Amino acid sequence: MTEYKMFQGCTIGNRIPFLEASARKVFDKLGITTSEAAFSCCPDPVGFNSVDHESWLAMGARNLTIAEDEKKDIISLCNGCFQTLKMVNTELLHNEHEKSKVNKILGQIGREFKGTINVKHFVEVLHDIGAEKIKEMMSKELNGMKVACHTGCHYNRPSEIMQTDDPFKPKKLRAIVSATGAIPVDYEEETLCCGAGVGNAEEEPAMQVLANKLKSAKAAGAEALIVNCPACFQQFDTNQKKAEKLAGEAFNMPILYVTELLALAFGEKADDIGLKFHRTRTNQLLEKYNIA
């Protein structure tokens, strides 16, 4: 059995751990085993790489060496951590000049980047396990629940490096969601960013991007938005009210991290996966589909 090093990242680990609760319950059911490690911040591909690229590379490489020590691949619960670790891994594997620069820095703490492990997004891993196995574990069909899938930017772009999924027509999240009986709707803004990045500089444009996204999902008849990234989750869940105010329109869109959807389909109780910690209410949706 493959054991992965769990990389939940700062946002899930230290701010919204209920997402991790659902992920772990789903992983257990599907036979995905993980162990902990003392990773630092990935670091953030939007924030930290914008501050200093060299520092971003060196810190990312240090995290990779921790997994290399144990000869285990990393499984990431966050698009940002996934993009950083995968990009750093790829860049250093293909660029001898950068690699030797980074290894000179890592040498000061007795570490060396070797490039011997892989970095996986948990959606890739779930997709590889497959719809059949997911269906076997289900005790609740979510038949007919119309959902909008949002993979987020750093899950599959830049595709030349990430190699996760189609950059403009991502399929894996849709396939996982479809296994539960839910129906992914087609909506125009499926690959649009959640707007979190620009929000670091200024709020209003970020809320406009967010409103564009939610409007499009709503217009396509989505009853919930399914995400696979904690940064996107927070943007949709925490900032939805602000986007509604700006757009002058109520979206009332429940946001579910994909392992929350799976956990519910596997018969987990909403209380045990901390759904009450969501800002957007999920009660009506759960009642409609007779989910605990």
Partner 1 sequence: MVSVDYELRKKVMDAHIHDALKYCYQCGRCTDVCPVSRVAPERYNPRANIMLSFLGLNIFKGQQNNFAIWGCTVCDTCDEICPQKIELTEIFAVLKNMSIAAGEGPDYYTTQASAIYDAGKAIPSQAAIERRREQLGLPKIEEPNVEEVQKILNATKLNTILKK
Residues that bind partner 1 in the complex, under the rule CB under 8 A? 8, 10-11, 13-15, 17-18, 20-21, 24, 36-41, 43-55, 58-59, 62, 105-106, 108-109, 111, 153-154, 157-160, 167-168, 191-193, 195-202, 205-206, 208-209, 212, 272-274
| 249 secondary structure, DSSP code | S
**Nearer to partner 1 by C-beta: 223 or 237?**
237
**Nearer to partner 1 by C-beta: 130 or 274?**
274
Shortest gap between Cβ of 171 and partner 1 (angstroms)? 16
**Nearer to partner 1 by C-beta: 24 or 223?**
24
Measured distance CA(10)–CA(39) in Å, rounded: 10
CA 245 vs CA 206, 220, 231, 248: distances in Å:
13, 21, 21, 5
Shortest gap between Cβ of 95 and partner 1 (angstroms)? 8
Measured distance CA(177)–CA(173) in Å, rounded: 6
Cis link prior to 158 (omega < 30° from 0)?
yes
**Nearer to partner 1 by C-beta: 145 or 173?**
173
Shortest gap between Cβ of 169 and partner 1 (angstroms)? 12
- To 10 degrees, the CA torsion angle through 45, 205, 242, 292? -40
Contact (Cβ atoms closer than 8 angstroms) between residue 191 and residue 166: no
**Nearer to partner 1 by C-beta: 178 or 208?**
208
Shortest gap between Cβ of 208 and partner 1 (angstroms)? 4
**Nearer to partner 1 by C-beta: 113 or 289?**
113
- To 10 degrees, the CA torsion angle through 259, 262, 264, 270? 0
Measured distance CA(91)–CA(152) in Å, rounded: 22
Shortest gap between Cβ of 235 and partner 1 (angstroms)? 11
SS (H, E, C) 205-222: HHHHHHHHHHHHHHHCCC
**Nearer to partner 1 by C-beta: 132 or 160?**
160
| 277 secondary structure, DSSP code | G
Sign for the pseudo-dihedral over CA of 220, 168, 229, 137: positive
Shortest gap between Cβ of 143 and partner 1 (angstroms)? 29
